[in-house]
């Protein structure tokens, strides 16, 4: 699918009505992936257990279209702790998990497997101790009041830098800002508003920056809507490095870059809203390949907005009108989930992001008017299983972007009727 990377630069609102009609007339295809040859799957992928209960996990690998085997020699861990412990439960070398005798906090547990020999060697399953869905508590809320805005105007994307600070791309005032996790303003990245028409023009200026990504060395990459190159790179201390991604619809060019993230090989994956594709660059900005096309069928992008990668370099992409989908790094379709339908009533998906265990956090806009029954973020596991929901403090605050720290803290960048800012959540 790498060669299938030319797409017309168009967006039509007819897709909204078509997608909505399909969602309402067709049962959701929730996480029923067929095994691709060479890939593995963990079973069960989500389960609820009582205290002290036991559960057998296994890894299946496909060798032919109708042939699978149980993999041996799998390394098992619980929340990345080899063998687990008494607090979160233990797992033996055969994949038998024993739930703890005392309720853990949080009560969502991650069964982790390393299956050498599989194309996707890292696998995760979700264990929920007890019958209640996992819950999140808001621990911090900071921002600025509209009419009294100092730094923020229309924040669009949020990322976490190498030191755990927050990077906010504000498309409204064409600034990229850095904050501490508790909301202290730390300064700006780049030179502020401006535009470059040619690659050789000085870099560092922004025109409607959309998102940021951080590489393994802590360098910061910002996607932009200026007339020149679409992506700019900066050192961890904010010095401009280089820019790439000329405007256009030929392979290697970008029209409206949105979500982006580095994989384990330090390749940068970028979803391009208006070209309906994913473009991939090496660490220096050299174009490698692209994939994707506009459409309404599984594997199509309509249009792509958010992007996240797990440790296997599998790529999660959400279409604006749903669903979210999972692909291999070269664009092979794996599964679809989060269709715009219950359990949570999501209808527009602006972006997504992931955590260390491959869980996906999907901000949504809903059709529900009941202030007691709204959803801000949907959480799914790496296999497309629905896990839980998160809610901002009020339904009029719409999540623009989500970032998840290594410890699982969730930062939700929001825009409300009277304020803009960040709400911070930890799992209970």
Tell me the per-residue pLDDT of 98-139, one tens digit each, with 9 for 90 and over: 999 999 999 999 999 999 999 999 999 999 999 999 999 999
Instruction: Report the CATH number of the 14-28+136-427 domain.
Output: 2.120.10.30
Within the chain, all domains assigned CATH 2.60.40.10 are found at 40-129
Which residues make up the CATH 2.120.10.30 domain(s) of the chain?
14-28+136-427
CA distance 292 to 271: 9
Provide the CA 190 distance to its chain's centre, in angstroms: 25
**Closest listed residue to residue 31, CA positions, set 331, 305, 279, 382:** 382
In percent, how much of the chain has pLDDT > 70? 86
Q: Is the model more confident about 9 or about 185?
A: 185
The candidate with the shortest Cα–Cα distance to 379, out of 362, 355, 399, 400, is: 362
What are the phi and psi torsion angles at 402 (to 5°)? -130, 140
The more confidently predicted of residues 428 and 373 is 428
Strands ordered across the beta sheet of 240-244: 211-214, 220-223, 231-234, 240-244
Look at 1 and 292; give whichever has higher pLDDT.
292
Token output for 62: 């496909």
Q: What is the pLDDT of residue 35?
A: 62
CA distance linking residue 402 with residue 166, whole number of Å: 11
Lowest mean pLDDT among 105-119, 234-248, 360-374, 375-389: 360-374
pLDDT for residue 196 = 59
CA 408 to chain centre: 13
Please enumerate in sequence order all residues whose Cβ is within 8 A of that of 21, keeping only pairs 6 or more positions apart, or say none: none
Beta pairing partners, 232: 222, 243
User: Domain 40-129 in CATH: superfamily?
Assistant: Immunoglobulins (2.60.40.10)
């Amino acid at each position: 699918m790498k060669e299938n990377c030319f797409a017309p630069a168009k967006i039509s609102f007819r897709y909204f009505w078509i997608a909505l009609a399909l969602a309402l007339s067709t049962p959701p295809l929730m996480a029923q992936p067929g095994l691709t040859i060479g890939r593995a799957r963990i079973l069960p992928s989500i389960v609820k257990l009582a205290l002290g209960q036991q559960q057998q996990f296994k890894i299946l690998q496909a060798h032919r279209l109708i042939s699978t085997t149980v993999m041996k020699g799998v390394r098992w861990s619980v929340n990345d702790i080899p063998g687990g412990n008494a607090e979160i439960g233990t797992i033996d070398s055969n994949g038998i998990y024993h739930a703890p005798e005392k309720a853990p906090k949080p009560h969502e547990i991650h069964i982790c497997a390393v299956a050498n020999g599989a194309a996707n060697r890292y696998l995760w399953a979700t264990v929920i101790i007890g019958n209640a869905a996992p819950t999140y508590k808001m621990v911090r809320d900071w921002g600025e009041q509209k009419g009294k805005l100092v730094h923020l105007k229309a924040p669009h994307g949020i990322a976490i830098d190498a030191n755990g600070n927050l990077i906010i791309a504000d498309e409204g005032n064409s600034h990229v800002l850095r904050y501490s996790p508790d909301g202290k303003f730390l300064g700006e990245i780049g030179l502020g508003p401006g535009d470059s028409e040619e690659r050789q023009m000085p870099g560092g200026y922004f025109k409607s920056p959309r998102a940021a990504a951080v590489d393994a060395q802590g360098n910061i990459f910002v996607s932009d809507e200026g007339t020149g190159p679409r992506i700019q790179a900066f050192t961890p201390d904010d010095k401009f490095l280089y820019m790439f991604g000329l405007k256009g619809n030929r392979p290697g060019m970008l029209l409206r870059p949105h979500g982006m993230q580095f994989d384990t090989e330090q390749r940068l994956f970028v979803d391009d809203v208006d070209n309906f594709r994913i473009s991939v660059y090496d660490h220096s900005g050299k174009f490698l390949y692209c994939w994707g096309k506009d459409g309404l069928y599984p594997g199509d992008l309509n249009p792509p907005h958010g992007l996240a990668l797990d440790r296997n370099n599998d790529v999660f992409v959400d279409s604006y009108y749903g669903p979210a989908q999972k692909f291999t790094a070269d664009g092979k379709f794996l599964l679809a989930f989060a269709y715009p339908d219950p359990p949570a009533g999501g209808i527009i998906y602006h972006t997504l992001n992931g955590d260390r265990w491959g869980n996906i956090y999907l901000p949504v806009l809903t059709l529900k008017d009941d202030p007691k029954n709204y959803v801000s973020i949907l959480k799914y596991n790496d296999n497309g299983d629905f896990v839980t929901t998160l809610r901002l403090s009020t339904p009029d605050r719409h999540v623009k972007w989500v970032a998840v720290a290594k410890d699982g803290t969730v930062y939700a960048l929001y825009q409300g009727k009277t304020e803009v800012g960040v709400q911070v959540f930890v799992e209970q």
